Amino acid sequence: MALITITQSLGSGDADIAARVAKELDIELFNDNKLKEIALEIGVHSDDLKRLDEKAPSFLDRFFSTKPAAYVEYMEAVIYEISQRGQGVIFGHGSPILLQNFDCALHVFIHASDSKRMDHLMKQQSIDRKAAESLIRKNDGHKKGFYRYAFNLEWQDPALYDLYINIDKIGSESAIKLILDVANSDEVKACSLTALETMALMSQKRKLRARLLENQIDISMINLDVPEKNVVTVSGFTYSERDQNLLNEILNSDPDVSTVRSEVALMRHIGE
């Protein structure tokens, strides 16, 4: 089995590379549309996504701009949900960072020079060079902001990736062959069941945290964990009875949770 994350620099042509790699390996491609489907499955409110322009590039990224904290939790839940399946090609959205310690994953970055990126966008989008340059700067700035907000890391840091491919040097076909060769290696294909189970628990944890954030519950003093399937432990403090009651209501009403062990106390103000 192969789980591959591919991170883009806009205009490098790597969306085509990701699709080709998935096809050659006969595994699923998790692009924006597929990630949205899974987000809906795990509980992102459909109205939140319907308000976004689905024709725009990276409409899930626009969800980040409206609800950054909840978005990060949900996107982590989505990535962990995919990873527990043990195979697939995940396109972008911080997946190489979220899966850094997941032995089943191969992390790939496709790099191209600004000149080549602009040439590609001019041809693909039928735009002039100035517009292509503006798109690249805007897209790079967005990714930089997202990675810094969510992970306090630089998205182009070579240390995050197993393969850092310069598409100017070797071309798309050689890049695809290189990724396939590494993905089919014994080292990458080896994956433990324990790792897959861990991803499932992490997905459920992130989903629950996101639901609390969406309901404006302050979780800064809350420790929520999913130690085993369908079991949630939560401890810490809330600043209001509203948060305390709503937190327990949300966790106990979740269809994927059978047991809630709660030790959440109400934080009393000095003098009370």
Does residue 256 share a domain with residue 133? no
23 found inside a domain: yes
The range of the structural domain enclosing residue 261 comes to: 215-266
pTM over 0.75, yes/no: no
pLDDT (tens digit per residue) in 193-244 = 556 677 778 888 888 988 888 888 888 899 999 999 889 999 999 988 889 9
Distance CA 1, CA 19 (A): 17
- Whether 166 and 107 map to the same domain: the answer is yes
SS percent in the chain: helix, strand, coil, step 5: 55, 15, 30
Q: Are residues 237 and 119 part of one domain?
A: no
pLDDT average, residue stretch 132-140: 92
- Between the alpha carbon of residue 127 and those of residues 8, 93, 124, 132, the distances in Å are 20, 26, 8, 7
The residue length of the chain stands at: 272
Least confident of 1-5, 40-44, 162-166: 40-44
CATH number reported for the structural domain that contains residue 227 in this entry: 3.30.1340
Please provide the distance, in angstroms rounded to a whole number, between the alpha carbons at the two ends of the chain: 58
How many domains is the chain partitioned into structurally? 2
Is the pLDDT assigned to residue 118 strictly greater than 90?
yes
Backbone angles phi, psi at 95, to 5 degrees: -60, -35
Q: List, for residues 77-112, the tens digit of each pLDDT value.
A: 888 888 877 789 998 878 888 887 777 789 999 999
Contacts of 168 (CB under 8 A, 6+ apart): 111, 112, 113, 116
pLDDT at residue 116, rounded to an integer: 92
Beta-strand relationship, 163-166 and 105-111:
parallel
Encoding tokens for residue 130?
Answer: 């100035």
Token pair for 15: 């969306």
Same domain? 128 vs 241: no
Domain of residue 71, CATH code: 3.40.50.300
The model's confidence at residue 64, banded by pLDDT at 50, 70 and 90, is low
